[in-house]
Structure 1
Amino acid sequence: MISRMVRKGLVAAVAVAAVFPATAVASTVPAARTTAVRQAVHHHHHHVRGLVTTHHTRLLVRSGPGTAYRVVGSRPDGHVVSLSCKKRGSAVRGNHRWYRLAHHRGYVSAHYVRAGGDVRWC
């Protein structure tokens, strides 16, 4: 009994889609595009510029927000870096804040970077 009702409902749905194919497709496409655009905008974040202030030494870039993470690079004093977000990590001279560099290039201690704006939390 239930399988017959499901089958009739499925046949009816296919018949409606066959009769009104343009309407069925046209009504779903804008919603899909709107969702894709919303997701793209949602994941796009404004990066904040920061100035490295290490006083004549290089700033170490680490793989994670802390001094125990491996070093993956460095930036010279006076270099401008692009910051995507901030996280809490191990303390560097009393400062537990770390900045993630844009494009997932690593983390730098906020103690040595002067941010040019408000950096969002990761």
Structure 2
Amino acid sequence: MLRNGLVAAVAAVAVFPVTAVASTAQAAHTPGSHHAAHHVVHHVRGRVTTHHTRLLVRSGPGTAYRIVGSRRDGRPVVISCKKRGSAVRGNHRWYRLAHHRGYVSAHYVRTGGAVRWC
């Protein structure tokens, strides 16, 4: 009985593959749906370039936010996205560190690729 049901299901998908895919995709993007859409997170690697000083990590994208840590010159950082914030030497971009570790001024970080907006 189980085998017959499995064969029938495979046959239905083979006959109507577009309908099966379309309904699955629509369910994943319907607001309030119980199907969670999977988001792929692309982190970008960067390197601190402060020239002999520490880069301050802030709780938000700006110099008015509290300091939550620091990174040494030459150290790698993993960036999840960028935001506009207060200017640091004319640069308004701030990088959000991966895993919610804070923000650093983009003026002092060199990246190995494009960083998406938050």
Give TM-score, length-normalised by structure 1: 0.68
User: Which residue pairs with 2:75 in the alignment?
Assistant: 79
Q: 1:94 aligns with which of 90, 93, 99?
A: 90
Q: Percent identity?
A: 77
User: Which residue pairs with 2:110 in the alignment?
Assistant: 114
Q: Which amino acid aligns with 1:86?
A: K
- The alpha-carbon deviation at position 114 of structure 1 amounts to 0.3
Cα-Cα RMSD: 2.2
Deviations 1:35-79 (A, max 9, x none): 346x12x2x311000010000111000000000000000000000
**In 1, Cα distance between equivalents of 2:72 and 2:53:** 7
Give TM-score, length-normalised by structure 2: 0.70
| Consecutive aligned runs of 4 or more in structure 1 exceeding 2 Å deviation | 34-37
**In 1, Cα distance between equivalents of 2:112 and 2:61:** 20
Deviations 1:85-120 (A, max 9, x none): 000000000000000000110000000000110000
2:49 is aligned with 1:53:
yes
**In 2, Cα distance between equivalents of 1:118 and 1:60:** 22
Q: Which amino acid aligns with 1:46?
A: H
**In 1, Cα distance between equivalents of 2:69 and 2:116:** 23
**In 1, Cα distance between equivalents of 2:77 and 2:69:** 13
Q: Which amino acid aligns with 2:79?
A: L
> Between Structure 1 and Structure 2, how many residues are aligned?
91
**In 2, Cα distance between equivalents of 1:107 and 1:95:** 14
